[in-house]
Structure 1
């Protein structure tokens, strides 16, 4: 098998969701028979109830050979470690079904452009794996095909509410949720001990105090260790922790009817004020970056579970030196982390849509060991948390790891990233305004009001258009 793929940093994609640049080389998966394939938030309204329907068993999805059918599947999984696990799974389905799977990959920062422009160069891929924040634009462009009723029923039955919500837009589930990530407070145990901090901060005032205590300066007066690490220059790194703190302090990001954003109300102001107080109080130095936490030069940050792979490789003292705690609240209330999902969807113009959904049903349905093929890939090929609850149970040995388990345990209280029209534009605008407050260029109220005005303009344009 001759595999060609595009290699890039696993999370560059989430740093640059506004896509530029040309397409990367595709990854070609050879057919199992030897025939070469072509290279290659909370939801705003509750999902209507549906009659429970059990998804077809894996064997049922591949019961009738479909010789001559080829499904083109587009993902951002092109690294060799990922392909080493995923390719045999795709081969297995080819052998069982007679369907050829043409697996194409692009670099993470090119995926959005590849999906949105695919039809311009001829037939689009049949199946996409994509970030759920893109659903409003995809649905607005009439790009996605609604799943069959049994798929929708299976997602409602077999996934957590947060993950089902994460695959829902305008009361419609649009595909199978896959990888799930949520945000919690991550801290360096050794640095806490050295600073005399006995436990992770549970409220915002404690977060400020701990940040100041854990900051160190060298003989030259420069900060050598930051108490809290703010993830500037990255929309998710700024907005996801902000939203987690917002919800955990009684605020809302947007109205349920998409009519306006609400992050500039008092809870949002309290969060940004707390962040700027930490910076002004010398509890955080904005010159520090993610690599500094990995190097043991930052005591705390708010980050997602996917970061575990880098922490295992680099943190002094190993992953056992890293603690995970709930998102701090204002006064001991309920901690509500933000989660985001990826999902599988089918192109509306696919000529093989029935076979595409059969394949996705097989890929996401439990096998004899209780795990779906997708669950196997996510835990062993991607080192990610699968969103299907039975996959979480089947891979409990992996997910009970001291670093990962707190994230899994927090999923029932997590809320999906707000899936609203213009979500990406709004997110980027909010990032810039929060950063302006961090750097002292604007007061928190001015920054959030500016972001809200921009967001409400975008929402109005989307509603009219």
Structure 2
């Protein structure tokens, strides 16, 4: 699950070169012959979910796990999402302070696995009923054909919109292209006084613009950097154009995501692009608090190619390679990623399960979950790249400058590509 982070935090997310540690084998690190009820020990779990809306639900699941396995104690630690990647790298590289289990964003998992920080999970108790997992989330927990993360929650981006504001502006249906979104936004602004849309300056949210032009950040099989291709330039120009035209709010680069959420919830902005993790916050806003049906959900707009696309995101539970209590960790991962646990969380905070069987009648009766599940079917897999989690810092810094008019789209993506080639992708070619 991806929550927005500030540009300042993204820029601070520097890659830490480190030597590999631990084992990448499938052994349990303990007595694999033990029966589950005989496994004991104390494990630490770093949960990166929203501390206000989601964490209480996961704490309840931890309590249920400890009741089922009374010999296992779980030290629950909620780590802010924008700090967790580097915090885990620091702890794992130093061999001290890393948790037994990490809630790893799908973009982090390949990098952590490549560094040797994660335990290979194939053949362990952590991996259960793999055929039940949706293909996208399942792939997100793998690296070089091996499983290093068990999918816990998945997501994608969608167009969220205030139905009443669109109706007041005379917009009959949610826009299906970025050009339509610009036109609809200007109508909203003129007829209601609210702003039409908000372009999130977090570089993760640039993906729908890129996919709409038929490109991506990188082409992994072709070993090419594509963010500064002609299509990449056009994608970023489209995002900038929404702001320059007055259709979108001029974002604050240090607190863009939170400001977007506040304005949308208050009814000051009619349309935003966000994921299912935001719904709990959205429904607290006065625009939706007393009328949840006022929140519309649609596929993100398409670009000039006529095709729309959003990334497959989410989180997997991974086990630290240096864990002294792997058997307990495997049982914990199995419990937390079970269909029962995923369905429970979804009914509480509208997250998207990664197991097909978790989409029960109770889960899908929620119209927001049902809508996102349908959109998820067309989501695009993110590049499987060890450096994938490190690409956003340079892109975010340049993307923010472009959005505010401080540099051209071409200069922004060219600088991004140059930085990537120098730091992470030295064997990749550029346009």
Normalising by structure 2, we get a TM-score of 0.81
2:394 corresponding residue in structure 1: 429
Is 1:356 paired with 2:313? no
Equivalent residues of 2:351, 2:369 under 8 A apart: no
1:200 corresponding residue in structure 2: 174
Is 1:178 paired with 2:152? yes
1:442 corresponding residue in structure 2: 407
> In 1, distance between residues paired with 2:50 and 2:126?
29
2:287 corresponding residue in structure 1: 316
> In 2, distance between residues paired with 1:331 and 1:112?
35
- Paired residue for 1:261, among 225, 229, 243? 225
CA offset digits 1:266-301 (Å, max 9, x no partner): 322222222222223221230573111211111212
CA offset digits 1:245-275 (Å, max 9, x no partner): 3223322321123733212223222222222
Is 1:102 paired with 2:74? yes
Q: 5+ residue gaps in structure 2?
A: 14-32, 253-258
Give the drift of 1:176: 0.9
Equivalent residues of 1:276, 1:438 under 8 A apart: yes
Q: Superposed, which structure 2 residues align to 1:9-88 within 5 Å? A: 11=3, 16=9, 63-66=35-38, 68-76=40-48, 79=51, 85-88=57-60
- Paired residue for 1:240, among 186, 194, 204? 204
> In 2, distance between residues paired with 1:206 and 1:88?
44
> In 1, distance between residues paired with 2:68 and 2:206?
47
Give the drift of 1:382: 4.3
> In 1, distance between residues paired with 2:52 and 2:232?
42
Q: 5+ residue gaps in structure 1?
A: 1-9, 21-60, 219-223, 366-370
CA offset digits 1:19-60 (Å, max 9, x no partner): 79xxxxxxxxxxxxxxxxxxxxxxxxxxxxxxxxxxxxxxxx
Equivalent residues of 2:102, 2:320 under 8 A apart: yes
SS of equivalent residue, structure 2 residue 249: coil
Equivalent residues of 1:164, 1:177 under 8 A apart: yes
Q: 1:351 to 1:258 in 2, by over 3 A?
A: farther
Give the drift of 1:121: 7.3
Q: 1:192 to 1:146 in 2, by over 3 A?
A: same
> In 2, distance between residues paired with 1:302 and 1:12?
11
Give the drift of 1:150: 6.2
2:28 corresponding residue in structure 1: none
Give the drift of 1:17: 5.3
> In 2, distance between residues paired with 1:162 and 1:14?
27
Q: 1:250 to 1:355 in 2, by over 3 A?
A: same
Give the drift of 1:80: 7.6
Equivalent residues of 1:132, 1:419 under 8 A apart: no
SS of equivalent residue, structure 2 residue 37: coil
Equivalent residues of 1:203, 1:332 under 8 A apart: no
Equivalent residues of 1:136, 1:419 under 8 A apart: yes
Normalising by structure 1, we get a TM-score of 0.75
Equivalent residues of 2:209, 2:236 under 8 A apart: no
Q: 1:400 to 1:249 in 2, by over 3 A?
A: farther
SS of equivalent residue, structure 1 residue 313: coil
1:339 corresponding residue in structure 2: 312
1:221 corresponding residue in structure 2: none
Equivalent residues of 1:202, 1:332 under 8 A apart: no
CA offset digits 1:206-235 (Å, max 9, x no partner): 1221122222499xxxxx522121123xx3
**Count of matched residue pairs:** 397
Equivalent residues of 2:347, 2:362 under 8 A apart: no
> In 2, distance between residues paired with 1:362 and 1:152?
8
1:6 corresponding residue in structure 2: none
Give the drift of 1:122: 4.2
Q: How much is the aligned-residue C-alpha RMSD, in angstroms?
A: 3.2
SS of equivalent residue, structure 2 residue 136: helix
Equivalent residues of 1:160, 1:412 under 8 A apart: no
Give the drift of 1:344: 0.6
SS of equivalent residue, structure 2 residue 108: helix
Is 1:270 paired with 2:234? yes
CA offset digits 1:151-205 (Å, max 9, x no partner): 7975751211211122123333212111222101112212212222111111232
SS of equivalent residue, structure 2 residue 366: coil
Flag the structure with more relative contact order, 1 or 2, with Cα contacts below 8 A and sequence separation at least 6. Answer: 2
Further displaced range: 262-271 or 120-129: 120-129
Equivalent residues of 2:159, 2:271 under 8 A apart: yes
